[in-house]
Structure 1
Amino acid sequence: MALHDPQTARRESVPNPGPTAFCALIHPDQTLPAPFAGRVAGITIAQRQRRQLLRLGAESVHEGENPRRGPVLLIEAGLIADERLLAAFLTEVQSRSWSRGPAVAVGPDGTTGGLAWLPAGHAAPDWAQIRREAEPVDLSGVDTYSPERRRRVPLLWQRPEDAASARKAASALLAAAQKGCLDWPARFVHPPIENAAVRLLWPTPFTPNMISVLAFLLGLYAAWCFATGALWTGLLIALAVGPIDGIDGKLARSRMEFSPWGDLEHVGDKIVEYAWFAGLAAALGTGTAWALAALIVCTALAEALLGEFYRRVTGAQLDDAGRFERAYRLVSGRRNTFFWSLLSFAWFDAWNAGLVAIAVYAAVNFFIMLWRFFVRLAEYGRAHSAAIAANLDATAYGKVFEDHGQQESGGEAATVARPALPPTNSLGAP
């Protein structure tokens, strides 16, 4: 079964529901205790389900009674289901065109129910009847790896019954919102601060976008502090922006509160980061400082372009491409590691030396990531194209030296394999 990860707000993460339009229905299972009516992670379970179903492409979401005779995606009231399970179930029933009868999910805990698909013309929902008659769809095979969170995340399938179990479910949601494959400050220093702040924000009207704007404005203020010579103030604010910048994503994922503006956060992060280096250069006031700042910014931009190109080609992130990349991510040159490194130099009032160290750090980091970019891109090419694999084999340095020796000894050189081209007419057009 295909992996789905609609946690992110990006369009490619939302599965295509196919040509069949459907509505969704939140309906209680009369054979189970009444669903928990309180809040979990700041919202009711019904609110969470509504947001999930609308993101999956439902034309409308209703509660209680069947809004029409089908097709209907049915979800049990009170069930906290991982959005990857919802997406996998929907894609499965859409791809099989369940016109002959209803389908029902078999959850990762082995129980039947929770999700069902009612084709057009089906009677009012009855969970007991659905479990007896519907075709089962086993969800136990859904992969737990989340590309967006760069780690394996347990699949949530819980039915809170009281306040205590609701708190446990909220803790599970917050744990699932944590990203993996991070630099060492984001992995070891920031999470406790982020988690405490998210718990405080759950019952408030603050949105993830508000937190993003706050982090951006604080970042600009830190740049102004750097530029005006208040170096320690700028550095402390810059270090504080790190965990604040992680709060918005966790709040959005745990509260299922996404916005199209979320993508702009990454642009804002880059603007702030580059402004910090410009501010440092302005405070130090030398041509060397400006050259170092330019080197840091240019290598960061180049690495970002490498990563974006790799993602566009392969659909994966370069930082998460393999064991080496995941291990190296802990110490790779990033905003967090750069400015935590600067802290040790600032302690001895060696700001110029700190900027030099960051520039060396950035340059070395760029060449390491450039090396891994070519290694991983070649691996992807070999795995997905016979022509690319043949060209790489034929032009490998060992092969080139071997062919050169054959030429000197009268042997025939190997020819680089190229994909066949279509015939052309006299004008050169295919």
Structure 2
Amino acid sequence: MTEPTISAGSRTAILVGASTVTIWGMSSAERLKRQLERAGVKDVRANADGLDPQADALILRLDWAYEQRLIDALAIRPGACLVSGAEAVAANVPGASAQDAAGAVARGEMPQGTEELDSEGLGGSYNRKLRKREIAYLIPLSEETVGDVEERSFAGSYKGVTDFVTKFWWPRPARAVTKWCAERSISPNQVTYLGLFLMFLALFLFWNGNFLLGLIPAWIMTFLDTVDGKLARVTMTSSKFGDILDHGIDLIHPPFWWIAWIYGLPKAGFPVDYAALMVWTIIGGYVVQRILEGAFIRLWGFHMHVWRPFDSMFRLYTARRNPNLVILTLFTLVWRPDLGMAAVCIWIVLSLVVHAFQIVQGAVANRRAPLVSWLDA
């Protein structure tokens, strides 16, 4: 039976070839369908029957693995042909030539009238969303390469500019847990809900002065905070609700942890003479830091953490949840949680000074020339 005709100006995708390899628990076809849906292409077919001659047709081979940026770019670039070496892998052609183009791409040949583009030419070399310079991967898909595909797709889900715990400590264990969850169809939201429970458990334990015990669910929660986002990206199962839930928890809970820590100190035998000052330092520091970061984006259109190499380096250690948690853990291990919180408050103030200075430097530098991220230069 002939499939229904789509309207002119719409987009459809035709998957050619075959693959029996599974990636993160998904078949190649299922993974491509999810990627295409994220790119706004919901009509996915096995042939060109019924296409309007004026419609855009995306031809993609099933025996290749594509980074999402390539799918996104191909969907909005008519006449493009994605190649690897001399081999055609995907193309965006008019519906009128889709039948012939599908046959050509399936054979690894460029369809007539298309522009040859490699991965960098089509997808660029800077991932703005994840704040890192990286050429999108394009890998032939087989049993021998599936491990490389999963490794690259997992690495590609990581922000390039983040704190040192997330960047250096979590990737290896997070990949293993992400793989385990993906193969068992555990959703990112389920991981987030577990993290939410652990967040409240840590808050309760900190409030009651059980610092060493509370650090256990706190650290597990920060680890799961890495896993849920990576799971959503590699399985293409992110949702607006899940994104709001995850980022909402991340945005709100850190200052409550530190305030609970302060009120738990007397219960653990550590009277605090300046508890009110510490609480206001935490609240004020957290709010002002977010305002400064938002002001930088508002003024110059990108995060202050990706302006210069120094700014990206400082983001590794600035007074955010994970670096603060490291400070508290180190002091608690020698049973001085009071000094640990004092150190966190001092670090919050020093970080604010650096961020305020970044705003001033940005204003001065912008008088000479528009600000540009060093990753995007």
TM-score by length of 2: 0.85
Local SS of the residue matching 1:182: coil
Identity of aligned residues (%): 20
Local SS of the residue matching 1:202: helix
* Cα separation, partners in 2 of 1:87 and 1:148, compared to 1, 3 Å: same
Are the aligned partners of 2:163 and 2:315 in contact in 1 as well (CA < 8 Å)?
A: yes
Partner of 1:323: 309
Partner of 1:100: none
Larger Rg: 1
Q: Distance in 2 between matches of 1:20 and 1:220?
A: 52
1:50-97 Cα deviation digits (max 9, x unpaired): 11212222242223444423412222223211221222233332xxxx
Shift of 1:112: 4.5
1:399-423 Cα deviation digits (max 9, x unpaired): xxxxxxxxxxxxxxxxxxxxxxxxx
Q: Distance in 1 between matches of 2:211 and 2:50?
A: 61
Q: Distance in 2 between matches of 1:20 and 1:300?
A: 51
Mapping 1:2-151, distance limit 5 Å: 21-29=9-17, 35-70=18-53, 71=55, 72-93=57-78, 103-107=79-83, 109-122=84-97, 124-129=99-104, 131-139=110-118, 140-141=120-121, 142-151=123-132
Are the aligned partners of 1:27 and 1:65 in contact in 2 as well (CA < 8 Å)?
A: no
Give 1:379's aligned amino acid.
A
TM-score by length of 1: 0.75
Shift of 1:276: 0.6
Are the aligned partners of 2:19 and 2:63 in contact in 1 as well (CA < 8 Å)?
A: yes
Give 2:91's aligned amino acid.
A
* Cα separation, partners in 2 of 1:25 and 1:378, compared to 1, 3 Å: same
Superposition CA RMSD, Å = 2.4
Shift of 1:367: 1.0
Q: Distance in 1 between matches of 2:178 and 2:50?
A: 36
Aligned with residue 167 of structure 2, among 176, 187, 193: 187
Q: Tell me if 1:279 matches 2:260.
A: yes
Shift of 1:26: 2.9
Shift of 1:378: 4.2
Q: Distance in 2 between matches of 1:64 and 1:252?
A: 30
Are the aligned partners of 1:22 and 1:59 in contact in 2 as well (CA < 8 Å)?
A: no
Are the aligned partners of 1:81 and 1:158 in contact in 2 as well (CA < 8 Å)?
A: yes
Local SS of the residue matching 1:37: coil
Shift of 1:242: 1.9
Q: Which runs of 5+ in 2 are unaligned?
A: 1-6, 267-271, 372-377
Q: Distance in 2 between matches of 1:266 and 1:132?
A: 43
* Cα separation, partners in 2 of 1:55 and 1:377, compared to 1, 3 Å: farther
Give 1:179's aligned amino acid.
K
Shift of 1:383: 3.0
Mapping 1:185-334, distance limit 5 Å: 185-261=165-241, 262-285=243-266, 286=272, 288-334=274-320
1:237-262 Cα deviation digits (max 9, x unpaired): 22222221111111122112211121
Partner of 2:374: none
Partner of 1:353: 339
Q: Distance in 2 between matches of 1:351 and 1:291?
A: 17
Are the aligned partners of 2:64 and 2:138 in contact in 1 as well (CA < 8 Å)?
A: yes
Shift of 1:377: 4.5
1:120-164 Cα deviation digits (max 9, x unpaired): 433524435462523224244242221222222342112213x22
Q: Distance in 2 between matches of 1:368 and 1:54?
A: 42
